[in-house]
Amino acid sequence: MIREGVPLIGNLGVAVESIGAGTVRLRLPYTGDMVRPGGTITGPAMFGLADVALWGAVMSLIGRVELAVTTSATINFLRKPPPVALIADCRILKLGKRLAYGEVLLFSEGDPEPVAHVTGTYSIPPHDPVKLAVLGYHDGETE
């Protein structure tokens, strides 16, 4: 679904390493196109990976509601990532009827220290809330 819904990500070779209810782990392989002066990974590559990780984690909870869109996102660059693959670990912290809020930690492959921290909010269009109730995520709020 990620490759179909966001073809750019498919073209970059992003792979889903794991997915669960409200969580996703993605891997973006390193290519020379992702490097910027100073020998580090570009911010747009990091942000793109984080954004699609948030989208995937939202989809893991609400099903195929493809028109869910980013309404806000903030990235904090913590350390200079070397030119290696990037790993995104995402989890949804709050899911309501209309909004989902989550966080992503980005890592350089093989390094346990994060290189960036991302938070974001997704707008959720009308969908079948019964799926959420069955999964135990409907909290009755009206956001």
CATH for 38: 3.10.129.10
74-118 pLDDT per residue, tens: 999 999 999 999 999 999 999 999 999 999 999 999 999 999 999
- The reply to whether 51 falls in a domain is yes
Full residue range of the structural domain in which residue 79 is found: 2-135
Mean pLDDT, residues 44-72 taken together: 91
Provide the domain count of the chain: 1
pLDDT at position 65, please?
A: 82
Is residue 102 within 8 A of residue 54, CB to CB? The reply is yes
- Dihedral (C-alpha) 132, 128, 97, 90: value to the nearest 10 degrees? 50
Which residue in this structure is represented by tokens 């002066």? 37
The pLDDT value recorded for residue 141 is 42
Spatial contact of 24 and 2, defined as CB atoms under 8 Å apart:
no
Residue 140: inside a domain: no
Burial label for 110, CB within 10 Å (0-12, 13-18, 19+), is: exposed
